[in-house]
Amino acid sequence: MASNKNSIKIHDHFNVTPPSSATHLSLPLTYFDVFWLRFHPVERTFFYSFPSQHTDPSFFYDQVVPKLKTSLSLTLQHFLPLAGKIVWPEDSEKPIIQYNPGDDDGVSLVIAESDANFNDILDNSPHEASESRSFVPHLESSDSSASVISIQITLFPNSGFCIGITAHHAILDGKSSTMFIKAWASLSQTSEESSPLVQELEPLFDREVIKDPKGLDTVFTNHWKNIASMLDPSDTNNKKSLEILSHAFPPKVEDSLRATFDLTRSDLEKIKKRVLSKWDTIVYEEESNNSNPYPKPHALSTFVATCAYVTVCIAKAFQESEKEKHKFWFAFTVDCRSRLEPPLPDKYFGNCVCGHVTDTKTEDFTNEDGLVLVAKKIYSTIKKIEKGALDGIEDLFSTYSSLMGENVVGIGVAGSNRFSVYGTDFGWGSPTKVEIPSVDRGVTIGIAESKDGKGGIQVELVLKKNVMGLFHTLFHAGLSEN
Q: Which residues are catalytic?
A: 169, 425
CA distance 128 to 74: 37
Q: Cα–chain-centroid distance for residue 268?
A: 22
CA distance 378 to 359: 9
* Amino acid of residue 268: L
CB atoms within 10 A of CB 120: 15
Q: What residues have CB less than 8 Å from 410, skipping those under 6 apart?
A: 328, 329, 330, 331, 400, 403, 404, 442, 443
Q: What backbone torsions phi and psi does residue 191 show, to the nearest 5 degrees?
A: 55, 30
Torsion, Cα of 356, 472, 454, 118 (10° steps): 110
Q: What residues have CB less than 8 Å from 284, skipping those under 6 apart?
A: 292, 360, 361, 364, 373, 376, 377
CB atoms within 10 A of CB 453: 11
Q: Cα–chain-centroid distance for residue 171?
A: 13
CA distance 270 to 480: 10
* Amino acid of residue 423: G
* Amino acid of residue 262: D
